[in-house]
Amino acid sequence: MAPLNSDARYQELAAKWLNNTISEKEKEEFSSWYNSGQDSDYSLPPDYAGSDEELKARIYANIETQLAPPEKVNRFNRKWYPAAAAVLIMISAGLYFYTDKPDEKLAEAEPPKSEQPLIETRDLQPKAEAKKTSIPAHDIVAGNDKAVLTLGDGTRIILDDAKTGVLANQDGHSILKTANGELVYSFGSAGPETASNISSQDLNFNTIETPKGGKFQVRLPDGSRVWLNAASSLKFPTAFSRSKREVELKGEAYFEVAHDAEKIFEVITRNQTVQVLGTHFNINAYADEPSVNTTLLEGSVRISDLRTNNSQLLKPGEQAKLTEGIEVVNLKNTTESIAWKDGYFQFNDADIQTVMRQIERWYDVRIRYEGQIPTQRFGGEIERSLSLLQVLKVLEKTKVHFRLDGREVIVMR
């Protein structure tokens, strides 16, 4: 048993509560601790949860918030300096574009009838769900949270349909879907230390896959958090072995790796491995992209080319591009790489094919080019919550034209 008045003790009690093994005395101990961190005693409103399982998931989410150490201030978090570079010129649906001719700015849309200015401040903190509006029948809505979890025994769980609460019990822990839609692995009374003693050959592996038009968050058994972009998959063990933490990624994901000085965290992607002890980084490893791009936000990572065994150490603000070899570039800012996670498309001198690959994955459409491929370059931001026709209307400000035929987008000059 963990020492009294320790975080490990309350994690142990939380796991017991979730697994229905907690005693009345332990409930009192847990409640006393929890209420001591509140301004007033904690009570649940009658409509807080629709079922016991949802109640457990919500309690777990609150416990995690209480136990988690304060996050480091991210230098890319604009909440604490809204008067700085977060001021964006927003034209029409929220985008400022330039063409490949720098002196030729796009004509502004007609000024809105309201007196609201075209300059807005954008806060990249998590937002409430956008207000839903009706769209034309031939339009296509933006992607949302959806994924499929495949367990080691072949069981498939459609996560967007699953209710909040415990989805499965596996290898000494519970798999939960929390009220905010995150997939979480919660250890039982045996604790993560026992699970980590499992040898690598005895591990069971789960895979979470997002379709086109989907995204999802997962908290791994070691506490690391992963955000999956559309058309991506992550394969990971139900408990990390005693020697290392290894996952396999296809597509794109943003990682916040929990620090563990004794276990390297390794991400295997197309022709590449990324090794870290604990840090924040983004990997874009889609098969249809010309390179595998790894962008480091904080900490340090080692990139290795699986074909040649060559490796490079990245520093914050650097990006490794893997093609025939590893090329490291310094970025003026890293927001473009993680804009998708914060709910935006962000382009910086991107060609039309780069733009349309993102459109294709997020709206689950096919892209076809009619005639010559346009040569315009794109820069700016568009909210990913907009419908497809709204996004295409913004893109047309660069004098590229589109036609929507079912789920096919035809790009014209």
Q: Where residue 315 sits, what CATH number does that domain have?
A: 2.60.120.1440
> 399 and 312, same structural domain?
no
Query: Does residue 84 belong to any structural domain of this protein?
Result: yes
> 359 and 402, same structural domain?
yes
Domain final residue pick, 326, 341, 356: 341
Cβ neighbours of residue 296 closer than 8 Å, sequence gap 6 or more: 279, 280, 281, 314, 315, 316, 317, 318, 319, 334
- Helix (H, G, I), strand (E, B), or coil: what is residue 396? helix
Q: Where residue 394 sits, what CATH number does that domain have?
A: 3.55.50.30
Query: Does residue 33 belong to any structural domain of this protein?
Result: yes
Q: What is the pLDDT of residues 202-228, one digit of tens each?
A: 678 999 999 999 999 999 989 999 999
How many domains does the chain fold into? 3
* Residue span of the structural domain in which 277 resides: 244-341
Helices and strands (DSSP H and E) totals, the chain: 7, 26
pLDDT at 138 over 80: yes
Query: Does residue 298 belong to any structural domain of this protein?
Result: yes
> 281 and 357, same structural domain?
no
> 325 and 248, same structural domain?
yes
Cβ neighbours of residue 291 closer than 8 Å, sequence gap 6 or more: 321, 322, 323
The pLDDT mean for the chain works out to: 76
Query: Does residue 217 belong to any structural domain of this protein?
Result: no
Residues present in the chain in total? 413
Mean pLDDT of 315-342: 95
Cβ neighbours of residue 116 closer than 8 Å, sequence gap 6 or more: none
> 335 and 258, same structural domain?
yes
More confident residue, 319 or 12: 319
> 367 and 390, same structural domain?
yes
pLDDT at 144 over 50: yes
pLDDT of residue 68: 47
Distance CA 317, CA 299 (A): 10
Domain final residue pick, 47, 67, 87: 67
> 311 and 285, same structural domain?
yes
> 360 and 320, same structural domain?
no
> 79 and 24, same structural domain?
no
Query: Does residue 318 belong to any structural domain of this protein?
Result: yes
Query: Does residue 371 belong to any structural domain of this protein?
Result: yes
Return the percentage of the chain with pLDDT > 90, whole number. Answer: 52
Q: What is the pLDDT of residues 34-59, one digit of tens each?
A: 666 544 444 444 444 444 544 555 45
> 248 and 335, same structural domain?
yes
Query: Does residue 194 belong to any structural domain of this protein?
Result: no
> 336 and 251, same structural domain?
yes
Q: What is the pLDDT of residues 239-256, one digit of tens each?
A: 887 788 999 999 999 999
Q: What is the pLDDT of residues 375-402, one digit of tens each?
A: 999 999 999 999 999 999 999 998 899 9
Query: Does residue 32 belong to any structural domain of this protein?
Result: yes
Mean pLDDT of 185-196: 53
Is the overall model pTM greater than 0.75, yes or no?
no
The DSSP result for 151-201, as a single string, is -TTS-EEETTTSPSEEEEEETTEEEEE-TTSEEEEEE-TTHHHHHTTS-GG
> 61 and 33, same structural domain?
yes
Domain final residue pick, 289, 315, 341: 341
Q: What is the pLDDT of residues 162-182, one digit of tens each?
A: 988 999 887 777 899 998 889
